């Protein structure tokens, strides 16, 4: 059965997932993570894509991206980073061959509670995967950029985060409280299933809006809403 094609929409946030070929590590040392983020910053400017969040794991990358000019710019952005990073990684580690497992997958993310839930998922993922004791201790997610100002110029704060408080300190306190609630298994499964199936993360009303906008059928699976702060 053929894989469901991606639905990309200009101006909408997309949760992008890249996984490694044969489950081999794609990030081995600090320089690998740093180079990927450097290339992402170059690509976001070149293709006019906003970067709302990320989490780099040893064998995968999760990104929250929003194309602002053309929908296809999201693909161009991700493919640019994949291609350039693969060349650099193979040269640095004396290897050749494919680094990533085929095409990236993505899910459209509804603004508001669902987008905040997706950010919470991303920044808690290292904890859930046993890579870190806390989100703040993990260096390769957007948590440091959001909460401490790391990686200046890379992160673009989305409307949901900006509405959490009147200033940056208030927003950080509110987001810290959101993280403290954790990511329930049901919510994690909903997000991961949507991404792997190239669907959407959000409500039935959001799916209806996207179907009218794109003329494509988006299958709704599962119910429930993310927990409010």
Q: What residue ranges define each of the domains in the chain, with the CATH number in brackets?
A: 13-214 (3.30.70.1290)
Report the pLDDT value the prediction gives residue 215, as an integer from 0 to 100: 87
Closest CA to 49 of 34, 33, 63: 63
- Whole-angstrom distance, CA of residue 198 vs CA of residue 31: 31
Specify the pLDDT at position 186.
95
Which residues are 57's β-sheet partners? Answer: 60
Amino acid 86: pLDDT: 96
**Given this model, what pLDDT does residue 93 score?**
95
Which residue, chain included where needed, has tokens 């193979």? 90
Instruction: Give the C-alpha separation, 192 to 202, whole Å.
Output: 13
Predicted local confidence at residue 227, as pLDDT: 60
Q: Tokens 């940056």: give the residue.
A: 168
**What pLDDT is stored for residue 223 in this prediction?**
47
pLDDT tens for the chain, 229 residues: list them: 345 678 999 999 999 999 999 889 999 999 999 999 999 999 999 999 999 999 999 999 999 999 999 999 999 999 999 999 999 999 999 998 899 998 999 999 999 999 999 999 999 999 999 999 999 999 999 999 999 999 999 999 999 999 999 999 999 999 999 999 999 999 999 999 999 999 999 999 999 999 998 888 776 544 455 665 5
Mention every residue, 6+ apart, whose C-beta is less than 8 A from residue 44: 50, 51, 65, 77, 154, 156
**Positive or negative torsion for Cα 169, 175, 180, 181:** positive
The rounded distance, in Å, linking the Cα atoms of 134 and 20 is: 24
Task: Give the Å distances, CA to CA, from 97 to 76, 78, 87, 168, 212.
Answer: 21, 19, 10, 44, 41
Gyration radius (Cα) of the chain, Å: 17
């Amino acid at each position: 059965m053929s894989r469901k094609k991606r639905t990309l929409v200009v101006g909408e946030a997309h949760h992008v997932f890249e996984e490694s070929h044969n489950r081999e590590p794609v990030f081995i040392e600090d320089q690998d993570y740093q180079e990927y983020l450097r290339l992402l910053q170059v690509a976001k400017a070149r293709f006019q894509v906003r970067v709302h969040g990320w989490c780099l794991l040893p064998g995968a990358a999760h990104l929250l991206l929003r194309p602002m000019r053309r929908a296809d710019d999201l693909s161009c952005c991700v493919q640019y980073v994949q291609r350039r990073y693969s060349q650099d990684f193979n040269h640095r580690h004396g290897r050749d061959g494919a680094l990533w497992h085929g095409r990236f997958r993505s899910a459209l993310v509804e603004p508001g509670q669902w987008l905040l839930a997706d950010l919470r998922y991303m920044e808690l993922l290292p904890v859930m995967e046993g890579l870190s004791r806390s989100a703040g201790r993990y260096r390769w997610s957007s948590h440091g950029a959001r909460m401490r100002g790391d990686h200046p110029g890379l992160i673009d704060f989305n409307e949901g985060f900006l509405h959490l408080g009147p200033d940056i300190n208030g927003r950080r306190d509110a987001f810290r409280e959101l993280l403290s609630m954790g990511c329930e298994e049901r919510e994690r499964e909903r997000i991961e299933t949507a991404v792997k199936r190239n669907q959407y993360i959000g409500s039935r009303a959001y799916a209806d809006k996207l179907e009218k906008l794109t003329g494509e059928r988006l299958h709704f699976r599962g119910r429930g809403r993310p927990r409010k702060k």
